[in-house]
Amino acid sequence: MAGPVIIGSERSEVGLTAGMDILRHRGSALDAVEAALRLCEDNESDHYVGTGGLPNARGEVELDASVMVGSTRAFGGVGALRGFPHPISVARAVLDRLPQHCLLVGEGAELFADECGFDRSELLTAESRRLYADALAAEDEPVEGEGAHATAGDRRYRETTRALMRRFTPHDGPWGTINVIALDESGELCVGVSTSGYPWKYPGRVGDSALPGAGNYCDLRYGGAACTGRGEMAMRVSGARRVVDLLAAGMAPAQACAAMLEDARSLPDPFSAELRALALTPDGRHGGAAGLLGSMYAVMTKDARQPELRPRVVVEVGR
């Protein structure tokens, strides 16, 4: 058996040490993933997860999160959850306390979180409010290439298209959903994902992070995988499930992630943006792939004092 190990996407480092502490004390992969992601959700300088996450087009923060356990393939997820700072814990409560269901969204997810006694809090920070206000101001820019012959309808059409493109374009700086995958001492695997989703998304939009097979999949026979980035593409190719199927077919983790990204890249997508994936096998092998050079993932093993960064295999962003 490979010793316990925990891996995560960019910016998961703030939580991995706490996750590894749990694994070192023979805690479960599920507890380790939840503890690691809660710390990421508390990191206000991270604008893609939890408190400080960027809001939807109406200025409201809506969070998606999920957990999946490898031996049972039990899944718990929440989508478009408002007002609760730790969506990963609500997702876990769905898994633990609502075995007749896998996924709750919106008002129902909030009702359930209240029933479970989770604390509510304001998720918009001064900085995320400022970033939202700046993005709205940018909507007034003139439409490039608009000629004298354009009708008011042409102009409106182009403005709407450009505004939408801007909304779905990743914000500058380190961005994206946080994925954490843990293998515990007993050999159990767990995948967790948490995000505020694409900035300025359509209200009510739920991304890959809440969905089994799309942003999160875990099967103890073959491995666990998770996605970050353009969630609609992860949904269209069943990204995380595809990576696990490729592990089952004998591919190494980084190659399985890269093959899934190649598949996503072959599809038409006018909002084409980077998609990234990570995978960990039950024997402790791990790897990742990304659409941009320089993208890394973090790994922490039992004897490490802190997470180490490893490069991902690069597959160019789609057309």
Our finding on whether 12 is near ligand ASP (CB under 6 A) is: no
Binding ligand ASP (rule: CB under 6 A), the pick from 195, 216, 238, 281 is 195
By CB under 6 A, which span of 138-146, 208-216, 264-272, 307-315 interacts with ligand ASP?
208-216
Q: Which is nearer to ligand ASP, 20 or 109 (CB)?
A: 109
Q: What is the dihedral of CA 67, 70, 75, 76, to 10 degrees?
A: -30
Answer for the pair 93, 112: CB distance below 8 angstroms, yes or no: yes
Q: Where are the alpha helices (DSSP H) in 102-201?
A: 106-116, 126-137, 152-168
Our finding on whether 46 is near ligand ASP (CB under 6 A) is: no
Our finding on whether 207 is near ligand ASP (CB under 6 A) is: yes
Our finding on whether 87 is near ligand ASP (CB under 6 A) is: no
Cβ-proximal residues to 268 (8 Å cutoff; 6+ apart), any chain: 319
Sheet holding 223-229: strands in order across? Answer: 216-219, 223-229, 275-280, 286-290, 313-314
Q: Which is nearer to ligand ASP, 198 or 297 (CB)?
A: 198
Among 51, 125, 151, 281, which one carries the catalytic annotation?
Answer: 151
Q: Of 43, 55, 47, which Cα lies nearest the Cα of 80?
A: 55
Q: Of 227, 236, 180, which Cα lies nearest the Cα of 67?
A: 180
Binding ligand ASP (rule: CB under 6 A), the pick from 75, 118, 198, 297 is 198
Our finding on whether 79 is near ligand ASP (CB under 6 A) is: no
Longest dimension (CA), the chain: 70
Q: Select the residue whose beta carbon is closest to ligand ASP and give its number.
A: 231
Our finding on whether 253 is near ligand ASP (CB under 6 A) is: no
Q: Of 206, 187, 189, which Cα lies nearest the Cα of 198?
A: 206
In the residue annotation, 72 being an active-site residue is answered as: no
Positions that interact with ligand ASP (CB under 6 A): 48, 175-177, 195, 197-198, 207-209, 215, 228-229, 231
Catalytic residues: 151
